[in-house]
Structure 1
Amino acid sequence: MSFNENAHGVYAIAATPFHADGTLDHDSIGRMTDFYLRCGVTGLTILGIMGEAPKLDADESLAVVKGVVARAAGTPIIVGVSAPGFAAMRSLARSSMDLGAAGVMIAPPPHLRTDDQIVTYYRQAIEAIGDDVPFVIQDYPLLLGVIMTPKVLRQIVMDHPSCRMLKHEDWPGLEKISAMRGFEKDGSMRHISILCGNGGLFLDFEMERGADGAMTGYCFPDMLVDVVKWSRNDERDRAHDLFDAHLPLVRYEQQQGIGLAVRKYVLMKRGAIASDAQRKPGSALSAAARAEVDYLLTRVARTDPRAVL
């Protein structure tokens, strides 16, 4: 498996399946991987924030990597390796690459405040995992509280040839995409892939600003695949029409605290996982919330028959 700076399409952020008692659901790991591949994704990103990675121990993390890589049959797999210390980061990164992962994703720790601290952190992280490991920068200031300006991102990209991709999750972030592509046009930064997160909430216009696709966990990755494809083919109205049909459910997923519960509930209804359980501490949908999600699905189904569950 491999990916490079020209990667495009949809790298779905995968959930981690659990049984109701909180143990890993190994059968659903394969089932979930098959589901994402049927949806037409280009790659998968596992052990991210949506994947409840901090709740797994080291052996469980590697079990997830091994299960997904084996089932993915050559589809590129990116592994989230963010950790409080570099020893744990290196161990998971090197072990994941040995198992066949395509690369890793690194988010900055929340305590970083200055540009110099951010640049130094990424330099030390790459020294730890090795400059032979392709990596993705995760830029998610809303959750992590770390502000990475376009100039800081450019410096990280230019300092580290092993940087292949930016996972862009700033909000508002359209101007940042334009700034990054502007650096490429003026020759001050080499080209890298830009895939966008935030649940896909701004994907329609992110594609028009120069993004290459999505890296997010919305429960209809097949919708994201279509929007990215049609945007790249200059079928603007077709892409926006489908996106608009899903937007109420995309918005509902963005609620802090229950977003993952919504995603897992719909993934369960779609047959991707056997249970919508999260490992504690975790959230759960009330009966009223489930009814609201079911109602939203009926509305999406008026336009997209994939929502008929």
Structure 2
Amino acid sequence: MRLDHTAAGVYAIAATPFTADGRLDTASIDSLTDYYLGAGVTGLTILGILGEAPKLEAEESLAVTRQVVKRAGVPVIVGVSAPGFAAMRWLARNAMDLGAAGVMIAPPPALRTDDQIVTYYAQAIEAIGDDIPVCVQDYPLTLTVVMTPGVIRRIFENHASCVMLKHEDWPGLEKISRLRAWQAEGALKPISILCGNGGLFLDFEMERGVDGAMTGYAFTDMLVELVDLAKAGDREAAHDLFDAHLPLMRYEHQQGVGLAVRKYVLMRRGAIACDAQRNPGSSLTAAARAEVDYLLERLARRDPRRALAE
């Protein structure tokens, strides 16, 4: 199940469950994996920003990878971004040995010029080996690294192992159109494009030609359904479904508390036992929890299939 340019559908960005005292919750890793599979995902992406990867020890990262890959039965992409290439290589090679489908690499925030970005990916791929499929993460809102369409084309054309773009630019619809136009002209090889940003623009991103979603919005089943509706050409139904979830998606996408909201909703849906983050982390106030509960109640009236565990 090695990652390639045909990857499509929904690759859920997985949270990493912890107990209240900050230990890995292995039971919830299994239940969360089952939750994603039950939603109909095509694949999973673990140890990303949502997965609190920088807070894990190296052996913990490998343990999470081993457990998810063994249980999932779908392609698993492992985030291997690290300050240095030695740590990146160690996790990437070990993850692939465990059966991962590929790895995701995000650019470090210090990169500023186009040449610096292109050089970084060349060095990263040299470090991990060009036999490992790579998903390039483009997330300027958090990482502060701006990848123009031209830079993305250079990276993908320079490296056969780069097969997927995780697109999270904002605004980014025109970037998608430019990349797909280059592909149609033969100026860019075929690549998979999956979109993040909490799903906030997934309705129109699908119409611009992306292959699906890679995000952590807690209603993963909604993402799967939206992608299916869009691919089937049922535009009105896709937008109606998106509109029903938009208030919660907006609330969940807040900087600083977004992960706390996602974990709380995952706990309410019975996917994990505890919504705790490993420190340093954030938590919801009683007022914020009440607001999320209110949004969940409103959502249930418009989309009754979104059951909650009580």
TM-score (norm 1): 0.99
Tell me which residue corresponds to 1:207. Answer: 206
- Kept in 1, the 8 Å contact 2:269–2:307? The answer is no
Contact kept? 1:165, 1:192, Cα under 8 Å: yes
Q: Which sections of structure 1, spanning at least 5 residues, go unmatched?
A: none
Question: For residues 163 and 293 of structure 2, what CA distance do their matches in structure 1 show?
Answer: 39
CA contact (8 A) 1:79 1:105 kept: yes
Cα deviation, residue 3, structure 1: 2.3
- Alpha-carbon distance in structure 1 between the residues aligned to 2:205 and 2:63: 34
* Superposition pairs of residues 166-245 of structure 1, within 5 angstroms: 166-245=165-244
Unaligned residue ranges in structure 2 (runs of 5+) = none
Per the TM alignment, residue 306 of structure 1 is displaced from its structure 2 partner at its CA by 3.3
2-side partners of 1:21 and 1:147: how far apart? 37
Give the aligned residue type for 2:140: P
Q: Matches of 1:250 and 1:178 in 2, distance apart?
A: 24
After the TM superposition, which residues 1-309 of structure 1 pair with which residues of structure 2 at under 5 Å, given as runs?
Answer: 1-73=1-73, 75-309=74-308
Q: Which deviations, in whole Å up to 9, do the C-alpha atoms of 1:138-164 show, x marking residues without a partner?
A: 000000110100000001000001111
Question: RMSD of the alignment, in Å?
Answer: 0.6
2:264 counterpart SS class: helix
Residues of 1 paired with 2:279 and 2:269: CA distance? 23
Q: What's the offset of the Cα at 1:257?
A: 0.5
How far 1:4 moved relative to its partner? 1.3
Inter-partner Cα distance in structure 1 for 2:17 and 2:71: 15
> Partner letter of residue 268 of structure 1?
M
The Cα of 1:185 is off from its aligned counterpart by: 1.1
Contact 1:298 1:308 (C-alpha < 8 Å) held by counterparts: no
1:161 counterpart SS class: coil
Residue pair 1:298, 1:307 contacting (<8 A) in 2 also: no
What is the CA–CA distance in structure 2 between the aligned matches of 1:196 and 1:38, rounded to whole Å? 21
Secondary structure of 1:4's aligned partner? coil
In the superposition, the TM-score normalised over structure 2's length comes to: 0.98
Greater shift, 18-27 or 2-11, is seen at 2-11
Q: Deviation at 1:2?
A: 2.1
Runs of 4+ in 1 over 3 A off after TM superposition: none
Q: SS of the counterpart of 1:230? A: helix
Q: Cα offset for 1:303? A: 2.0
- In structure 2, distance between residues paired with 1:228 and 1:303: 19
Shift of 1:304: 1.5
* Secondary structure of residue in 2 paired with 1:136: strand
